[in-house]
Every structure is written in C-alpha cells, then in structure tokens.
Amino acid sequence: MLLCSDMEREFIRVLGYTKFGLLARQISPFIKNLRSYAEFVEIHSTIAEITADPTDNIFLECAVDGKADYIISGDKHLLELHSYAGVPIVKSKEFLLREKFIKES
C-alpha cells in the first residue's frame, strides 16, 4: 500500500463525511494505523488528468511515483479512467478477484 502526505490529508477530509459515520476523534487513530501498513512515497509528478475533481490526481501521482501495481478506489472519476500510465484502476472486489484473494460467488 502506498501513501503520500497529500493522500493522507485527503483521507482525513473525506473520512469526515457523515456517510462514513466516523467521529473526528476516530479519524486520527485510523490514519496512524494506515501509516503503519503503508509505504510512504515522495511525490515528484504533477498530474492534471482529472479536471472534474482535481484532488483525485493525488492518487495518480502517488501511483506513478510509487510504481504501483494497482489503484484501488471507489471514486467514479478514477474508475472512469480504467487505468493510468499502465496502472489498472479497479474497485476493491475486482482487485481481490484478480489477485485470487476471493473467488466469484
């Protein structure tokens, strides 16, 4: 799993949405736990592929600079690309199926 500082800030912002049902005090421990599993990537690329929601480009930059195998997302702007710079963009279930962590039911 790859992570960069801009992604971290975006996660904090998005996790504050009511649809996730998290209290502000729950977000910081989540991010701390995420850091313990992630490889931190220094971003050098500037990508402006997604104009409808420019913050989504953060994920493309991290994938490119971190040499990701996949971008796993539920974000419609990312998913509409299908891939970027040879990196497939898939929903979590598709990733789990492709990597044979689960079987189609």
The domain in which residue 28 lies consists of: 2-98
The reply to whether 105 falls in a domain is: no
At residue 24, the pLDDT reads 87
The reply to whether 21 falls in a domain is: yes
21-71: per-residue pLDDT in tens? 999 899 999 999 999 999 999 999 999 999 999 999 999 999 999 999 999
Note the pTM of the prediction, 2 decimals: 0.88
Q: In whole angstroms, what is the distance from residue 38 CA to residue 3 CA? A: 6
DSSP string, 12-39: HHHHTSGGGT--HHHHHHHHHHHHHHSE
| Mean of all residue pLDDT scores within the chain | 95
The reply to whether 46 falls in a domain is: yes
The reply to whether 47 falls in a domain is: yes
**DSSP structural state of residue 77:** H
The reply to whether 33 falls in a domain is: yes
The total domain count for the chain is 1
The reply to whether 104 falls in a domain is: no
105 pLDDT higher than 80: no
- Retrieve residue 37's tokens: 């599993």
At residue 104, the pLDDT reads 85
Q: In whole angstroms, what is the distance from residue 99 CA to residue 92 CA? A: 11
